[in-house]
């Protein structure tokens, strides 16, 4: 009974589009239970990890973090290439892109890009592990935890078509973001050239707005793309957007106002550095 209900819901979600049978045996595709279990385990680690680390000194993880950031730049670069050459820089239509035929060889490349993006979201859970091991509890915010525990689902249900613009844009943003994190590990000699870090959050906000507006195109009657596949992830992206706006206002606008008030009071502030939490 339960399986029939879930099958009905999934068929309604797909809007009559048949799943791409080529992806059925791909790693972590056919069993969403693994994804749910990973999210649950992640939340448990976020809850109890900092409490366990209370009894230990913070770990110095500079080199592992540098290697990790370099790997993430490389992975997202591959994803961007696959998404670009598999559709968005070749034959995809920006205003409305229907799901391609599973018999098209090029659609296989887009499906691979989406699959690799989904897997990369599992890898990105390491971000939080680094925060816990370094005792950076301040950076494990609700935004950070909510984002990491839900983002993998958004790349699970659509292997090609309109929604995959999110794969292209998100991979580009992550190349920029992890490049910044990598360069920032090289110390003051390089950090002085990273003045553009304040624009990372703006870039992410722009990404959210662009993807949300792009998904609304599927509401037009002439667009042959299942609305639920595009609109449900976009609803989650809208939540990300609101949380990021709140973060941006707290970390830049409010601090800037406080700085101006202190300056007017005749207090010397010295050098101020507003650090972005490591978010994707």
What pLDDT does 66 receive?
Answer: 94
217 lies in some domain: yes
pLDDT band at 280 (very low <50, low <70, confident <90, very high): very low
Q: How many domains does the chain have?
A: 1
Residue 140 lies in a domain: yes
Lowest mean pLDDT among 5-19, 87-101, 121-135, 164-178: 5-19
**277 occurs within a structural domain:** no
Res 97: pLDDT: 77
Tell whether 270 is covered by a domain: no
How high is the pLDDT of residue 5? 45
Residues tagged active-site: 147
Kindly tell me if the per-residue pLDDT of 170 is higher than 60. Answer: yes
Output the pLDDT for position 269. Answer: 37
Looking at the predicted structure, is the pLDDT value of residue 224 above 70? yes
The whole domain housing 76 covers 17-264
Q: What is the mean pLDDT of residues 232-241?
A: 87
- Asked if residue 252 has pLDDT above 80, the reply is no
End-to-end CA distance of the chain: 38
* Highest mean pLDDT of the ranges 57-71, 151-165, 255-269: 57-71
Does the pLDDT at position 263 exceed 50?
A: no
- Angle, helices 126-133 vs 32-53, to 10°: value is 10
The model's confidence at residue 159, banded by pLDDT at 50, 70 and 90, is low
Residue 92 lies in a domain: yes
Whether 169 shows a pLDDT value over 90: the answer reads yes
Write the pLDDT tens digit of every residue in 89-143.
888 888 887 776 555 666 778 889 999 999 999 999 999 999 999 999 888 989 8
Q: What is the mean pLDDT of residues 20-25?
A: 70
- Does residue 274 form part of some domain? no
Confidence of residue 266 (pLDDT cuts 50, 70, 90): very low
pTM: 0.81
CB within 8 A of 212, min separation 6: which ones?
234, 237, 238, 241
Please report the pLDDT score of residue 33 as a whole number.
83
- DSSP letters, the chain, are -HHHHHHHHHHHHHTTPPP-GGGTTSTTTS-HHHHHHHHHHHHHHHHHHHHHHTTSPPP--HHHHHHHHHHHHHHHHHHHHHHIIIIITTT--SS--PPPPTT-HHHHHHHHHHHHHHHHHHHTTHHHHHHHHTT-GGG--HHHHHHHHHGGGGGTS-SSSGGGHHHHHHHHHHHHHHHHHHHHTT-HHHHTT-GGGGHHHHHHHHHHHHHHHHHGGGGSTT--S-HHHHHHHHHHHHHHHHHHHHHHIIIIIHHHHHHHHHHHTT--------PPP---
Question: In the predicted model, what is the mean pLDDT of residues 42-50?
Answer: 95
Q: Establish if 39 belongs to a structural domain.
A: yes
């Amino acid at each position: 009974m339960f399986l029939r209900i879930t099958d009905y819901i999934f068929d309604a979600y797909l809007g009559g589009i048949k799943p791409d049978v080529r992806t059925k045996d791909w790693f972590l595709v056919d069993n969403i239970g693994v994804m749910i279990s990973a999210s649950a385990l992640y939340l448990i680690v976020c809850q109890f990890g900092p409490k366990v680390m209370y009894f230990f000194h913070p770990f110095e993880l500079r080199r592992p973090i540098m290697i990790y950031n370099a790997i993430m730049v490389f992975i997202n670069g591959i994803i961007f290439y696959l998404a670009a050459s598999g559709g968005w820089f070749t034959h995809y239509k920006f205003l409305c892109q229907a799901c391609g035929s599973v018999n098209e060889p090029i659609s296989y490349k887009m499906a691979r890009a989406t699959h690799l993006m989904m897997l990369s979201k599992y890898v990105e859970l390491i971000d939080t592990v680094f925060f816990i091991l370094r005792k950076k509890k301040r950076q494990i915010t609700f935004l950070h935890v909510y984002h990491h525990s839900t983002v993998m689902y958004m790349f699970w249900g659509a292997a090609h078509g309109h929604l995959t613009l999110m794969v292209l844009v998100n991979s580009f943003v992550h190349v920029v973001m992890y490049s910044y994190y990598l360069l920032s590990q090289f110390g003051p000699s390089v950090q002085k050239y990273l003045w553009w870090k304040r624009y990372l959050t703006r870039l992410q906000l722009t990404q959210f707005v662009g993807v949300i507006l792009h998904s609304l195109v599927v509401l037009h009657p002439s667009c042959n793309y299942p609305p639920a596949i595009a609109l449900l992830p976009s609803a989650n992206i809208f939540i990300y957007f609101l949380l990021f706006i709140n973060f941006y206002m707290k970390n830049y606008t409010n601090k800037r106002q406080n700085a101006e008030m202190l300056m007017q009071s005749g207090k010397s502030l010295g050098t101020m550095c507003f650090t972005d939490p490591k978010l994707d």
